[in-house]
Amino acid sequence: MAASSSLRLGVLYPREMNLYGDRGNVLALVRRAALRGVELEVMTLGLDGGPPQEIEACSGFLIGGGQDLDQLALAHDLVARKGPALREAVSGGAPLLAVCAGYQLLGKHYRTATGDLIPGLGILPLRTEAGPRRLVGNILVAANPGLGLSNPLLVGFENHSGRTMLEPGLQPLGEVVRGEGNDGDSGAEGAILGSVIGTYLHGPLLPKNPALADWWLFAAADRTGTTLDRSHLDDSAEEAARREAIQITLRGSRARGYRLLGRRARIRRTG
């Protein structure tokens, strides 16, 4: 593709998959692209839209989190209608960042608590099953060095009942430093395969992890042959928010306190 000064972000199902401030990720990409001298055009690939030619025109993709109800409605559209073009784009190097329910939908299937099987796109060789309790809280992840992030400590919040099992050979996005990750047990968080990243760090993941936003932008630029300023940006506001989040996450007693104090604390909460 010829060099150009713009990139196009395809946001999959923004209406349905925007449970926890996923919009923050779009804002982060748009802002950082602008700071790097590139206009990022945002394209909505919704339930009623996103024909193959629109998907082909995108430099990369985001898919966010949603309720289980939404997933059922979306899975069919994702697999049957958008699947082939999306698969083609990511095999050509287009970055795809999938968060929470979006991550689960990229796997082979999601088995709900009621036993329903939601088929996934199968881009990532993994399976997810609903677990007995939700995995909730602040999370710190040491990102896979293979990603080459300028700052490999990822900061976020997770909230999922799904337990995701990676098939042998599939690399996790990183190792859990604090928190639960894919299954609360293995110490693995997320998955990475080529230009596809799936993660349970939900909602506004990119504002507080500008290195990961840059990963997406650089991959999108590489794929489309777009020239983009790759120098270091002033991330002082981002760093301040990261420090705040890291400090709070490292106060480890909070996770245990949450379960003990949960009921009593709700009493003080009023409408």
Binding residues for another protein, per CB under 8 A?
Answer: 15-16, 18-24, 27-28, 31, 67-69, 73, 134, 136-138, 157, 159, 161, 202-204, 207-208, 237-238, 240-241, 243-245, 248, 254, 257-258, 261-271
Give least dist CB 241 to another protein, A: 4
Catalytic status, residue 58: no
Residue among 2, 129, 11, 17 at smallest CA distance from 65: 17
CB of 204 to another protein, least distance (A): 4
Mark whether 100 is an active-site residue. yes
In the numeric block, which tokens belong to residue 129?
Answer: 């099953």
How far, in Å, CA of 144 to CA of 30, rounded? Answer: 25
∠ CA 102-108-109, rounded to 5°? 75
Name which of 27 and 142 has its Cβ closer to another protein: 27
CB of 57 to another protein, least distance (A): 25
Q: Which is nearer to another protein, 157 or 215 (CB)?
A: 157
User: How far apart are alpha carbons 266 and 268 in whole angstroms?
Assistant: 5
Longest Cα pair distance anywhere in the chain, in angstroms? Answer: 61
d(CA 72, CA 13): 13
Tell me whether residue 231 or residue 270 sits nearer to another protein (CB atom): 270
Tokens 């998955």 sit on residue: 191
Element (H or E) spanning 193, and its range? strand 191-193
Q: What is the rounded CA–CA span in Å between residue 45 and residue 48?
A: 8
Active-site position among 76, 100, 160, 232 = 100
Closer by beta carbon to another protein, 156 or else 172: 156
Q: How far is the CB of 183 from another protein (least distance, A)?
A: 17
- Asked whether the beta carbons of 70 and 105 are under 8 A apart, the reply is no
Q: Which is closer to another protein, CB of 167 or CB of 244?
A: 244
Between strands 60-63 and 6-12, the pairing is parallel
Select which of 58, 109, 160, 202 is catalytic.
202
> Minimum CB separation from another protein for residue 170, in Å?
27
Catalytic residues: 100, 202
